[in-house]
């Protein structure tokens, strides 16, 4: 680490040096006759003074040097006028005045730069600059606040090592992008002085020298630790809510589900009885008994299928994104709601695209969307006297950056007013006496988490159509 000498110690040393130098020049100038313009050396005094004095102080020192030069000249040549000495005195005076003017100009430029740099201290963001070798050369106040390190500790250190930076992608790839575009933006992990880790949104800008070579990188970092934590808490709360809503829906479907499992179980018993009767015949009818056993097995499978799907929907688990067939997901879901459909005497029209591509998604979550849409459609048709039709269709559609897989749920129910269309997906919006108003809101979060869209429209001839668009696995993966 470089040895750091405090700024005030440096300027005191320069002040003492300037005073000693002034005295030495004056003594040599006044008491000796070297035949050279020794007072020119006052320029050095002014240069030394410029580093620590303000504008007024510098002018005062400069006037003092002029006075000393004149006094020394008059002291040495009071009796006779020496042209050479007068010219030397004039040269020295010129040197003092020119050096003073240049130093004043330099001081002004430095002040301007300092003011500009001070502006960087006003921002809340942490800004630092690192040279081509990753060594920190500038560290603003925002960085001091964010990381807990003062500038004097940070300047001179290797940035990535100092902040224990963790990059989201390979450093080489990141640097290649920076070199190509001059910019990079992304999330990084840094470690503070107290050892705590923080997430920052980092923006890098590359500065090149006059030959176009990378000279420095300015890094602006904003703390997003809290935002990320809030997002993850929100995500958890949403998942929790979605789970509760799923379990509530399953509760509403309890009668249907009981029937879906009870019916095959009753069939198992009937087939078992029949099998026994075939076997107790004299002679036993083996073929008929085998058929009864096969029916028993298929009915038991059906009951266990329903229970397996039910358990999958009721379980609370982290969302997983795997390739899945939407036609299959609709089929599985219908198993749970088909009695609701049959009891309400609804005509079900299924139109599956057999060549549908897979989507990348969470099966349980997407089934929840399908159940919500189907149950809403059925409930919307409850008060309809005429024919009740439910159409569920899947199809493919070209999208901007690939293909979409589309699911359409159309009913011939009460529909909704066009101006209400925007509200349907709002949380707690419900027109039902016992409605929670969460189904569509949760469905939208799920679809959007799958990078898809959900929309609703009122049909011309009554009823409503809900459309879910999801990118296919190839597009969603890209």
The residues of the shown chain that bind ligand ADP, judged by CB under 6 A, are 372, 376-377, 380, 411, 413-416, 424, 429-432, 435-441, 464
Taking the least distance from each CB to ligand ADP, the nearer of 100 and 372 is 372
In whole angstroms, the minimum distance from the beta carbon of 330 to ligand ADP comes to 16
Helix (H) or strand (E) holding 179, with range, is helix 171-181
Q: Which residues contact 291 (CB under 8 A, 6 or more apart)?
A: none
In whole angstroms, the minimum distance from the beta carbon of 431 to ligand ADP comes to 3
* Token pair recorded at residue 143: 């960085």
Say whether 94 sits in a helix, a strand or coil: helix
Taking the least distance from each CB to ligand ADP, the nearer of 150 and 435 is 435
Taking the least distance from each CB to ligand ADP, the nearer of 159 and 438 is 438
* Token pair recorded at residue 456: 């609703």
Say whether 402 sits in a helix, a strand or coil: strand
What separation in angstroms does the CA of 177 have from each of 167, 183, 213, 331?
14, 7, 15, 46
In whole angstroms, the minimum distance from the beta carbon of 299 to ligand ADP comes to 33
Other C-beta atoms closer than 10 Å to the C-beta of 366 total: 24
What separation in angstroms does the CA of 420 have from each of 380, 417, 426, 436, 464?
15, 5, 10, 17, 12
Nearest to 370 by CA among 476, 312, 471, 446: 446
In whole angstroms, the minimum distance from the beta carbon of 469 to ligand ADP comes to 17
Angle at 443 between CA 437 and CA 446, to 5 degrees: 140
Give CA–CA dist 312/314, Å, rounded.
6
Taking the least distance from each CB to ligand ADP, the nearer of 271 and 368 is 368
Phi (first) and psi of residue 350, to 5 degrees = -105, 135
Taking the least distance from each CB to ligand ADP, the nearer of 138 and 416 is 416
Taking the least distance from each CB to ligand ADP, the nearer of 50 and 370 is 370
Residue in this structure with the two tokens 């070209």, named with its chain if needed: 398
In whole angstroms, the minimum distance from the beta carbon of 456 to ligand ADP comes to 7
In whole angstroms, the minimum distance from the beta carbon of 137 to ligand ADP comes to 57
Taking the least distance from each CB to ligand ADP, the nearer of 197 and 382 is 382
In whole angstroms, the minimum distance from the beta carbon of 252 to ligand ADP comes to 10
In whole angstroms, the minimum distance from the beta carbon of 228 to ligand ADP comes to 29
In whole angstroms, the minimum distance from the beta carbon of 437 to ligand ADP comes to 4
In whole angstroms, the minimum distance from the beta carbon of 433 to ligand ADP comes to 10
Q: Which residues contact 372 (CB under 8 A, 6 or more apart)?
A: 249, 439, 440, 442, 443
What separation in angstroms does the CA of 282 have from each of 11, 279, 285, 286, 289?
120, 8, 8, 11, 13
What separation in angstroms does the CA of 271 have from each of 37, 150, 203, 266, 289?
126, 83, 71, 9, 9
In whole angstroms, the minimum distance from the beta carbon of 125 to ligand ADP comes to 41
Taking the least distance from each CB to ligand ADP, the nearer of 202 and 376 is 376
Query: 464-471 and 453-458 as β-strands: parallel, antiparallel, unpaired?
Result: antiparallel
* Token pair recorded at residue 383: 């008060």
Taking the least distance from each CB to ligand ADP, the nearer of 249 and 357 is 249
Nearest to 468 by CA among 400, 367, 388, 380: 367
Angle at 137 between CA 135 and CA 143, to 5 degrees: 100
Give CA–CA dist 345/384, Å, rounded.
11
Taking the least distance from each CB to ligand ADP, the nearer of 89 and 468 is 468
Taking the least distance from each CB to ligand ADP, the nearer of 36 and 467 is 467
């Amino acid at each position: 680490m470089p040895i750091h000498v405090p700024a005030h110690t440096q300027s005191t040393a320069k002040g003492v040096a300037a005073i000693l130098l002034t005295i030495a020049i004056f003594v040599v100038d006044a008491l000796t006759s070297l035949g050279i313009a020794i007072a020119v050396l006052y320029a050095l005094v002014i240069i030394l003074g410029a580093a620590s004095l303000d504008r007024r102080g510098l002018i005062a020192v400069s006037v003092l040097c002029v006075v000393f030069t004149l006094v020394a000249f008059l002291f040495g040549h009071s009796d006779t006028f020496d042209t050479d000495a007068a010219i030397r005195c004039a040269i020295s005076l010129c040197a003092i005045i020119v050096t003073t003017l240049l130093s004043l100009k330099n001081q002004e430029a430095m002040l301007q730069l300092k003011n500009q740099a001070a502006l960087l201290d006003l921002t809340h963001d942490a800004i630092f600059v690192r040279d081509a070798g990753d060594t920190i050369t500038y560290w603003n106040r925002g960085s001091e606040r964010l990381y807990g390190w003062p500038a004097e500790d940070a300047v001179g250190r290797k940035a990535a090592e100092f902040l224990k930076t963790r990059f989201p992608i390979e450093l080489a790839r990141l640097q290649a992008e920076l070199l190509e575009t001059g910019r990079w933006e992304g999330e990084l992990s840094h470690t503070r002085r107290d050892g705590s880790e923080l997430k920052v949104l980092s923006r890098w800008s590359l500065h090149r020298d006059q030959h176009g070579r990378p000279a420095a990188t300015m890094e602006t970092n904003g703390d997003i630790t809290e935002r990320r934590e809030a997002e993850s808490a929100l995500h958890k709360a949403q998942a929790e809510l979605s789970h509760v809503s799923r379990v509530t829906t399953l509760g509403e479907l309890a009668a249907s589900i009981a029937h879906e499992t009870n019916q095959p179980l009753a069939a198992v018993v009937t087939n078992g009885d029949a099998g026994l009767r075939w076997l107790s015949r004299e002679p036993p009818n083996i073929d008929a008994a085998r058929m009864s056993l096969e029916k028993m097995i298929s009915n038991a499978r059906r009951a266990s299928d329903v229970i397996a799907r039910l358990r999958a929907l009721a379980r609370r688990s982290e969302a997983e994104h795997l390739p899945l067939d939407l036609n299959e997901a609709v089929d599985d879901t219908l198993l749970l709601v088909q009695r609701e459909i049959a009891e309400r005497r609804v005509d079900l029209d299924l139109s599956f695209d057999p060549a549908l591509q897979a989507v990348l998604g969470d099966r349980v979550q997407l089934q929840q969307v399908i159940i919500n849409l189907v149950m809403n459609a059925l409930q919307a048709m409850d008060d309809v006297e005429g024919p009740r039709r439910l159409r569920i269709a899947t199809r493919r559609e070209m999208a901007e950056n690939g293909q979409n897989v589309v699911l359409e749920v159309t009913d011939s129910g009460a529909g909704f007013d066009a101006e209400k269309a925007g509200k349907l997906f709002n949380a707690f919006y419900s027109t039902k006496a016992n409605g929670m108003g969460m189904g569509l809101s949760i469905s939208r979060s799920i679809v959007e988490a799958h990078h898809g869209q959900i929309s609703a429209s009122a049909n011309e001839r009554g009823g409503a159509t809900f459309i879910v668009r999801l990118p296919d696995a190839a597009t969603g993966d890209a």
